[in-house]
Amino acid sequence: MASYTTIIRNGLIFDGTGSPPYEADIAIDGDIISEIGQVEGSGLNEIDAEGQIVTPGFVDIHTHYDGQAAWGDRLDPSSLHGVTTAVMGNCGVGFAPVHESDHDRLIQLMEGVEDIPFPVLAEGLPWQWESFADYLDFLTPRRFDIDLAAQVPHAALRVYVMGDRGVNREEATDDDISKMAKLAHDAVMAGALGFSTSRTLNHRSADGNPTPTLTASERELLGIAMGLRKAGRGTLQFVSDFDDMHEEMAMLRRLVEKSGRPLSVSIAQADSKPTLWRHLTDWLEQGVADGLPMRGQVGSRPVGVLLGLELTLNPLSGHPSFAKIADLPLNKKVDALRDPTLRAQLLTEEAGSKNPFVRALLANFGKIFVLGDPPDYEPTEDKTVAAIAKNRGVSEVEVALDLMLENNGRGVLYFPFLNFADGNLDSTRTMLESNATLPGLSDGGAHVGMICDGSFPTTLLTHWGRDRTRGDKLPLELLIKKQSCDTAHWVGLHDRGVLMPGYRADINVIDFDKLRLHLPEINYDLPAGGRRLMQRATGYTATLVAGEVTYLDGTPTDAKPGKLVRGAQTKPKQKLAAE
């Protein structure tokens, strides 16, 4: 009778293909699934999954662990939410290739775009590399709680080749483009999964200047894409404002047609352009119908800023009196805000700010919600600060202050600035069910003091597969397929994302009835004592990476089998029945 490394018994198998679930055992040999069915042998380790669902490990294709991977071995919060492979280097920002003289430039860009503080990155990054291949060589011996893959970032390429001209967004010369194309080619040959860039004004360096790639010409982008074509591998990842929607869509389609490389682009519903997402989704669906490898990356809930006294922003951030105490430790800040004199001053003074996001907050109490515990990511209007203030007969600022003072100053407010223009998530549902979209945009590892969306995979399963009350849900087998098989195979990782013999044993055992998100919290565990938002979940009974149990009931084990994945991975050869 055969013996195996691990056997998962009696689970309801969602195999990642979108097929209906079925009950079976899963036998694992080393890091590979060996058998699925009624397994007669024994396992050195056995997991009883009766009454639970068993899924492939989730693949998150949009994270920013470029810094965290250099100093840490746990890529959380993603690893707390069933993610077993993460792809970093998105949005055109990252740390290679780099000249020694440009270290601070790339840090400032990451700080501005992804809200990772300069002191954290300055202390945490060892800078033991110059080329992208050097960077991958640095990461190769490191071990993590999940697998990690990288993309080559456009901003780093531009700064490396063009220096100040690149930073100042000057047009690239033919020689510049040739050099960037060669670097991109060499990066994917060394193991990068692809190339990423940003064309949005929302992405700015810490000094307020737009990202170096904002106005890169089609000629430049095509030159780099053709570098990937020459390599015969690699995906293209874009984020864009689509200000000239039709021209931008036409340009992106031309890049795909000429280079032959798969392209994904971020899609979300913005309040300022509440119907743009529909046009983009239709355009992508037409591209897919025409046989082009094009996808939209979409979120599973609103992209929302978390507001609080311990966080980067809150509704008092524009008040002069608050500015005087903003840098105090939380306990002293709470004591100050409970002082009747300061409180009266705050409630009467006029607020203002040069920060456009703070100005938006000050004018949007009708769209700032109580997040609650467990968090509600599709809240109703009665949970807004404005509605609560009207009900209590007091000012909106007073309500916001009282709510943030709850739980010893750890009360959290929620400002959904994308995917909630209609006050519900109907548009998000339409995006998610499209055959031209993939789950993405979690930004795991980034926005450490404002956003905590690394938990997107848990929301995808719980909200859309079980809990939604304000509209239709989506089939669980579809959601699991999108977050595992579809995401993995899109970026060329064909050895995972499916529960079948021969595939990698990246697996989740989930008590689906008990799967719940917890309220985000603050940890002070980054280099230089930096803070970051963290969000945990209940219901992940076990997560396995390469056949090793990395988490049990949400608690990490000592196992760290995760490593850098270099380049695309081939589909396992299936054994014939006669063999």
Report whether pLDDT(120) > 50: yes
- What pLDDT shows up at residue 323? 92
When pLDDT is cut at 50, 70 and 90, the band that residue 576 belongs to is very low
- What pLDDT shows up at residue 1? 61
User: What is the rounded CA–CA span in Å between residue 563 and residue 565?
Assistant: 6
Among 405, 398, 457, residue whose Cα is nearest residue 432: 457
The answer to whether residues 193 and 59 touch, using CB atoms and an 8 Å cutoff, is: no
Secondary structure of 456-474 as H, E, C letters: HHHHHHHHHHHHCCCCCCC
Tokens of 275: 């119907």
Q: Which uninterrupted H or E stretch holds 481? A: helix 476-481
User: What is the rounded CA–CA span in Å between residue 447 and residue 461?
Assistant: 23
Report whether pLDDT(578) > 70: no
- What pLDDT shows up at residue 579? 34
Q: Which domains does the chain have, with CATH numbers?
A: 63-71+89-302+422-445+482-490 (3.20.20.140), 305-418 (no CATH)
pLDDT digits (tens, 9 = 90+) for 507-556: 999 999 999 999 999 999 999 999 999 999 999 999 999 999 999 999 99
- What pLDDT shows up at residue 351? 81
User: What is the rounded CA–CA span in Å between residue 88 and residue 277?
Assistant: 24
User: What is the rounded CA–CA span in Å between residue 404 and residue 317?
Assistant: 13
Among 411, 519, 529, 423, residue whose Cα is nearest residue 471: 423
- What pLDDT shows up at residue 104? 97
When pLDDT is cut at 50, 70 and 90, the band that residue 89 belongs to is very high
Residue 391: other Cβ atoms inside 10 A: 10
Give residues with Cβ within 8 angstroms of 137, minimum separation 6.
129
Q: How far is CA 543 from CA 8, 78, 81, 86, 561, in A?
A: 11, 12, 9, 14, 12
Average pLDDT in the chain: 96
- What pLDDT shows up at residue 577? 36
The answer to whether residues 418 and 299 touch, using CB atoms and an 8 Å cutoff, is: yes
- What pLDDT shows up at residue 8? 98
Provide DSSP, 493-557.
BTTSSS-STTSB--EEEE-GGG-EEPPPEEE--SGGG--EEE--EE-EEEEEETTEEEEETTEE-
User: What is the rounded CA–CA span in Å between residue 222 and residue 167?
Assistant: 20
**Buried residues in 62-92 as b, exposed as e (16+ CB within 10 A):** bbbbbbbbbebebbbbbbbbbbbbbbbbbbb
548 - beta bridge partners? Answer: 545
pLDDT digits (tens, 9 = 90+) for 277-302: 999 999 999 999 999 999 999 999 99
Q: How far is CA 14 from CA 46, 107, 505, 510, 526, in A?
A: 19, 41, 14, 11, 36
pLDDT digits (tens, 9 = 90+) for 14-48: 999 999 999 999 999 999 999 999 999 899 999 99
The whole-angstrom distance between residue 571's C-alpha and the CA centroid of its chain comes to 25
pLDDT digits (tens, 9 = 90+) for 322-377: 999 999 999 999 999 999 999 999 988 888 877 777 777 777 999 999 998 899 99
Indicate the range of 49-58, 201-210, 422-431, 558-567 predicted with least confidence. 201-210
Report whether pLDDT(561) > 90: yes
Secondary structure of 85-143 as H, E, C letters: EEEECHHHCCCCCCCHHHHHHHHHHHHHHHCCCHHHHHHHCCCCCCCHHHHHHHHCCCC
- What pLDDT shows up at residue 143? 98
Q: Residue 555: which region, alpha, beta or left (left: phi > 0; alpha: psi -120 to 50)? A: beta
Q: Identify the burial level of 468 via C-beta atoms within 10 angstroms of its C-beta, where 0-12 means exposed, 13-18 middle and 19 or more buried.
A: middle
Among 206, 205, 120, residue whose Cα is nearest residue 158: 205
Please report, rounded to a whole number, the percentage of residues in the chain having pLDDT higher than 70.
99
pLDDT digits (tens, 9 = 90+) for 196-245: 999 999 999 999 999 999 999 999 999 999 999 999 999 999 999 999 99
Provide DSSP, 211-222.
PTTTT--HHHHH
**Buried residues in 360-378 as b, exposed as e (16+ CB within 10 A):** ebbebbebbbbbeeebbbb
User: What is the rounded CA–CA span in Å between residue 453 and residue 468?
Assistant: 18
Report whether pLDDT(131) > 70: yes
54-81 average pLDDT score? 98
63 - beta bridge partners? Answer: 444
At 278 the three-state DSSP class reads helix
